[in-house]
Amino acid sequence: MKTPTFTQRGFTLIELVVVIVLLSITAAAIIQLNGGLFKSGNSIRDLQSDTQLLQACAEHVLATRRLTGFDDTLDYDTACEALAVATKADNNNFDVTTTPNYTGNSCPVGATCQWVDIKVNSTVGTLGPMTLQLMKY
């Protein structure tokens, strides 16, 4: 009578160590990629926020012109800084420059024009300028 021989089934210690090392390397790479994704997400969020600030300042300039008239000379930089949406920590978000009596090619004959350049300063850089040309006929 022959004694049955059992074949060993399972993994050796070396095979288990190799698998654990490979899983560790893969996990480290995934963690590294996710860290970059969150960092990129924050910069995209900042860019969206700055774009909204730029739009809010431009809308404020246009609304002020409609309400007060063309002849008033206003400090748009201070007005935009005082907007409720301008809540960044540095409190120096906007750079608004006004060019009164603009006489460039885009100003129609017989009109009085002003240029208003709006920039938003942020952690990701400067966004803008957005240029508004205001005209009075």
More confident residue, 34 or 106: 106
Return the pLDDT at 18: 95
Domain boundaries, the chain: 13-136
Return the pLDDT at 47: 81
Q: Is the pLDDT of residue 38 over 80?
A: no
Burial class of residue 31 (count of CB atoms within 10 Å of its CB; 0-12, 13-18, 19+): exposed
Return the pLDDT at 21: 96
Give the sign of the dihedral formed by CA 110, CA 73, CA 128, CA 85. negative
CA distances from 25 to 35, 36, 61, 98 (A): 16, 17, 55, 57
Structure token digits, residue 90 = 């540095």
Q: Is the pLDDT of residue 6 over 70?
A: no
pTM above 0.75, yes or no: no
Q: Is the pLDDT of residue 133 over 80?
A: yes
What share of the chain has pLDDT > 90, as a percent? Answer: 12
Segment 65-118, tens digit of pLDDT: 888 877 666 778 777 877 776 555 455 578 888 888 888 888 898 888 888 899
Please name every residue paired with 50 in a beta bridge, in sequence order, or none if there are none.
Answer: none
Average pLDDT over residues 115-127: 83
